Amino acid sequence: MDGSFRWRNTTSAQRQTLIAAALGWMLDAFDVMLYSIVLATLMREFGMTKATAGLLNTLTLVASAIGSLIFGLMADRAGRRRMLSLSILTYSIFTFACGLATTITMLAVFRFLLGLGMGGEWNSGATLVAETWPGEWRGRALGIVQSSWALGYALAAVAANVILARADWRWVFFAGVVPALVVFWIQRGVPEPELWRRQQQERRPAAQVREMWRKAMPRLMVLLTMNTFGMFAWWGLFTWIPAYLALPEARGGRNFNAVDFTSFLVILNLCGIFPGYLLFGVLADWLGRKRTLIGYLALAAISVPGFAAARRPGWILVTGCIAAFFGSGFFTGSGVVGSELFPTPIRATALGISYNAARGLSSLAPLIIGSLGQAHGLPWSFSACAIAFACAAIAALWAPETRGLELA
């Protein structure tokens, strides 16, 4: 297909896979970010310090690395659609279970199990889309998928605000079981990619697959390094932004009331994160993956200190949207490059390692930023996130350019 490819010219399989992956990722964000949004409430309920609260999110990220490997291996063998459905079911059930927790230990266990599904959803969904859509529009297709995270985050903020006005924090988590309903449609209406089905019929010998892994390792390490630094910055920043806004100024926060807090998170996602994801896909298809990656990460490193220094609500919103635009948007590039670097027999597993293993390696970010915030205040601790974004930009210098590559 050429550059004139349009949505109206897509096949039914392309539309269904894109919608399925986008819904899965949106609802993943909805479930995962409910914790961050009610974090200040949970800290009061369980008497948690910032370090303990950060540790619980760290456990979720460690689990996501484990889940990405498990679901990635199964997706390469049993199918992308099946593992997408199973991962959604997993994170939905255990988000609901978080509402039943009566101790910090119970909450930690449920957050860990939730993370397994969270880790498996991205590589299953991104691989499904990458293998179905043409190369000329793959960046934009995965940009649409990635942008759905912002919609899920905004939806979580609205849902949590509405529920907390009428019930306690447990019902916020109970709402997290809703994504499980999507599984029925995915299983019935979404096909497996033709590329994957053909590869399954070839039944490549183990020696050939091992050779694929050997050749892929240098590229995998570059992508993993970039993602690890980028995710350290993202999780360190976005785990703590809700608490940072809600906490009183005496405790290093900005003392937003419930209405301002919810409005800020919705605007941050719809005006910062959402267009950042989408525009990355457009720029990556136009300028190339590598150049766009480096630019986004460098501008994220520059913008975070401005957000941390802002004190007036208007400036907090503007600087926050800029930091969110670049600091989140680069994830689209991670998915595009990862899906194009690796051959079909190992694509889901390799993509999962490069993306979700980075989550595991960066899992100390919520704990470290929380501990630094406890000692020095959250605005100061956010400087560590800016440094991590800069390191990710440096790592991206070694990433190969994949624009124009055909999947094999």
User: CATH code at 272?
Assistant: 1.20.1250.20
Report which of 64, 47, 55 is spatially closest to residue 368, judged by C-alpha positions. Answer: 55
Residue linked to tokens 């860990």: 112
Q: Which two tokens stand for residue 29?
A: 């964000």
**Residue 2 located in a structural domain:** no
Q: What is the residue-wise DSSP string for 301-327?
A: HHHHHHHHH--SHHHHHHHHHHHHHHH
**Residue 59 located in a structural domain:** yes
Neighbours of 151 (CB within 10 A): 21
**Count of structural domains within the chain:** 1
**Residue 406 located in a structural domain:** no
**Residue 7 located in a structural domain:** no
Residue linked to tokens 């993370």: 115
d(Cα 75, Cα 243) in Å, to the nearest integer?
36
pLDDT for the residue numbered 1: 44
**Residue 386 located in a structural domain:** yes
**Residue 73 located in a structural domain:** yes
pLDDT for the residue numbered 392: 97
> Sign of the CA dihedral 361, 367, 373, 374?
negative
Can you give the residue range of the structural domain that contains 280? 12-193+200-396
d(Cα 219, Cα 227) in Å, to the nearest integer?
12
**Residue 44 located in a structural domain:** yes
pLDDT for the residue numbered 213: 92
Does this model's pTM top 0.75? My answer is yes
pLDDT for the residue numbered 2: 46
d(Cα 55, Cα 37) in Å, to the nearest integer?
16
pLDDT for the residue numbered 242: 76
pLDDT for the residue numbered 408: 66
* Full pLDDT tens readout for the chain, 408 residues: 444 556 667 888 888 999 999 998 898 888 877 887 888 789 888 988 877 887 888 888 888 888 888 998 898 888 889 999 999 999 999 999 999 999 999 999 999 999 999 888 878 888 888 888 887 788 888 889 988 888 888 888 888 889 988 989 999 999 988 888 888 888 878 888 888 888 777 777 788 889 999 999 999 999 999 999 999 999 888 888 877 776 656 555 666 766 677 788 788 888 999 999 999 988 998 899 999 999 999 999 999 999 988 878 888 889 999 999 999 999 999 888 888 888 888 888 888 888 877 877 887 888 888 888 777 777 778 889 999 999 999 999 999 898 877 776
**Residue 407 located in a structural domain:** no
Q: Which two tokens stand for residue 261?
A: 């807090």
Residue type, 341: L
Any idea what the Cα angle at residue 342 is, between residues 333 and 201, rounded to 5°? 130
